[in-house]
Amino acid sequence: MIASLYRPGESLLHRMAAGPKLLALALVGTLLFLLPSLPLVLGALAMSLLLFPLAGLPLAAAWRAMKGVLLVLLLVGAAQLWLAGWREALLVTARLAGLLLLAGLVTATTRMADMVESFERVLGFLRPFGVDPARIALAIALAIRFIPVLATIAAEIREAQAARGLERSVLAMGVPLILRTLRMADEVAEAIDARS
């Protein structure tokens, strides 16, 4: 089964209700992509990092949230560098990194049950239309949880392939990642079916 990414704690962020945290994540994530100023985006990225110790989580937790997607960030940055220059590359990469850090922080400080309950309340208006808010809420919460889980899986596969001398092989990285992702998707489908 999927391991929980929640890390128990007594910080203000841990005690905060899931709804306001998820709303703040959506608003700050949107704001990050609307900010045109590189210094402001870099400041927001630094603030994202500082929130980890304030939540009682080590900075190593921030690294864990990022290391699995580091390759993707580098590729996006390289593409932006080639297409739009260094400033745009840094801006886009910092925006993505900030958003991923914040998503990792919310995931680490929010129990899955609280996320599901929060989404279920918000989606309650769909019930008269024959839509089951509980199923949708669970699917959304699991999708949010998937982001850091997939990053961790990618990092594990990359380390295992590097130990075998297959660092640069896209096939050696892609096939196990796809297989593990599909296996995890089956687990999620079973969890959703079991809940309904």
pLDDT at 1 over 50: no
Q: Are 121 and 18 in contact (CB under 8 A)?
A: no
pLDDT at 19 over 70: yes
Residue 62 burial (10 A CB sphere; 0-12, 13-18, 19+)? buried
pLDDT at res. 136? 82
pLDDT at res. 61? 79
Q: Are 106 and 56 in contact (CB under 8 A)?
A: no
pLDDT at 115 over 50: yes
CA of 8: how far to CAs of 58, 110, 119, 175, in Å?
13, 9, 21, 34
Within 10 angstroms of residue 24's Cβ, the number of other Cβ atoms is 14
Contacts of the segment 121-130: beta carbons below 8 A, 24+ positions apart: 121/19, 122/19
Output the CA torsion 15→17→116→144 (10° steps).
-80
Within 10 angstroms of residue 74's Cβ, the number of other Cβ atoms is 11
| Out of 18-27, 59-68, 78-87, 163-172, least confident range | 163-172
